[in-house]
Amino acid sequence: MSSTYGDNLRLSIFGQSHGAGIGMTLDGIPAGLPVDMNQLQVFLNRRAPGQGDISTPRKEEDRPEILSGIVDGYTCGAPIAALIRNTNTRSGDYMQLKDCPRPGHADYTASVKYGGYQDVAGGGHFSGRLTAPLCIAGGMCKQWLEQQGIFVSAHIAQIANIKDDAFDPVAPELNNVHHDFPVLNTQMGHKMRQAILEAKENGDSVGGIIECAVTGLSAGVGDPMFDGMEGRIAKIIFGIPGIKGVEFGSGFQSAAMMGSQNNDPFTITDGTVRTKTNNAGGILGGISNGMPILFRAAVKPTPSIAKSQESISLSGQCSRMLEVKGRHDPCIVPRAVPVVEAAAAIAVYDALLQAK
């Protein structure tokens, strides 16, 4: 049940990178919600490849066809299903990977789990391409959240060793994220692009960190223990290929803090309870406290690199060197930014759907 998410909504993602198509079904959504397909397409385009020198030249339209669940621009209560056709597939590039797994990639583990029957072409179901249907679902959830005054926005917090400014934890300015390259500080963004290009020239890749904020969520959403907002968000964020860490608020920094520093003092103004700092990342006891939800996700460097790497031949039971061919992003972090937003939007919308 790998590709299903949600307690109150039920998202199910299907497809392989080089199969007939990829898509999703989204069940449990209330009827009567508007869906703006143009706005959705703008959002999907932020994730799409082929946007210049720092991403893969593979060009897919990523234009979803709505198969069900939306009538005349409104949800009709039936499960929403959407399909993106795979058009630009080059399966030939991938055949050697069945015998010689790429380091850092799922080739080997998929081979063990699926007994060699996995679809190896383009990474199959493990491909980053599967984040496109996640963005369809998340892009819709974003729209529905915005209608409630809840906004989700992310930016690149770090690539290689270059750090962007951070969101103001108590009052993040979501509109300050630049659109073409999603950072707050364009100067740092410029350096990041250079670091990506440098890695590309070396046949290498770089990782990064994405910071995401959710504003406008009122207090009282989420649950104690396993359905806390942290667990709900982490579960879907770790569903994005390449994510290896998730932290909320002061996160790993809180290890070195005193309680008197880390505890966020409460204040009240005109009946509104707030905290002066936001080390909790907007979540106490698994439940939103009315402050912005803040989290950071670590993205590992793209495993597919042009450089020669040590691998093995499964048939030959011996070591061999591997050079990965095909088109690959030297850094997936910029394209992962809208994916993180999509995932966060789905998690928050799912929590909101729950009966109080």
Identified binder of its own copies from the candidate list 281, 292, 334, 338, rule CB under 8 A:
281
Do the beta carbons of residue 286 and residue 225 sit within 8 Å?
A: yes
x-or-dash pattern for its own copies, window 115-154, by CB under 8 A?
xxxxx----xxx---x------------------------
Region of residue 222 (left: phi > 0; alpha: psi -120 to 50; beta: else): left
The residue count for the chain: 356
Residues 12/4, Cβ–Cβ less than 8 Å: yes
- Asked if 238 is part of the footprint of its own copies (rule: CB under 8 A), the reply reads yes
> What does the per-residue mask of binding to its own copies show for 164-203, with x meaning CB under 8 A?
-----------------------------------x--x-
Nearer to its own copies, 53 or 173 (CB): 53
Contact stretch for its own copies (CB under 8 A) within 30-38, 44-52, 141-149, 169-177:
30-38
The one among 146, 298, 325, 326 contacting its own copies by CB under 8 A? 298
Q: How far is the CB of 134 from its own copies (least distance, A)?
A: 9
Residue 39 Cβ, how far from its own copies at the closest point, in Å?
A: 19
Q: Cα(241)–Cα(62) distance, rounded to whole angstroms?
A: 18
341 touches its own copies (CB under 8 A): no
C-alpha of 55 from chain center:
16
259 near its own copies (CB under 8 A): yes
Question: In the complex, what is the shortest distance from the CB of residue 349 to its own copies, in angstroms, rounded to a whole number?
Answer: 11
- Distance from C-alpha of 93 to C-alpha of 80, rounded to nearest angstrom: 34
**Site for its own copies, residues 320 to 339, rule: CB under 8 A:** none
**Shortest separation between residue 36's beta carbon and its own copies, angstroms:** 16
Question: How far apart are CB 48 and its own copies at their closest, in Å?
Answer: 20
User: CB of residue 175 vs its own copies: minimum separation in angstroms?
Assistant: 25
Give the SS3 label for residue 20.
coil
CA distances from 214 to 121, 145, 217, 291 (A): 36, 10, 7, 9
Which residue type sits at 128?
A: G
| Shortest CB 138 distance to its own copies, Å | 13
287-288 and 162-163 beta bridge pairing: unpaired
Asked if 8 and 118 count as a contact pair (C-beta separation under 8 A), the reply is no
Rounded Cα gap, residues 11 and 29, in angstroms: 10
Judged by CB under 8 A, the stretch of 43-51, 147-155, 186-194, 225-233 that binds its own copies is: 225-233
Taking Cα atoms as reference points, which of 232, 236, 262 lies closest to residue 249? Answer: 262
- Of the pair 63, 244, the CB lying nearest its own copies is at 244
For its own copies, which is the closer residue by CB, 173 or 202?
A: 202
* Three-class secondary structure of residue 230 per DSSP: helix
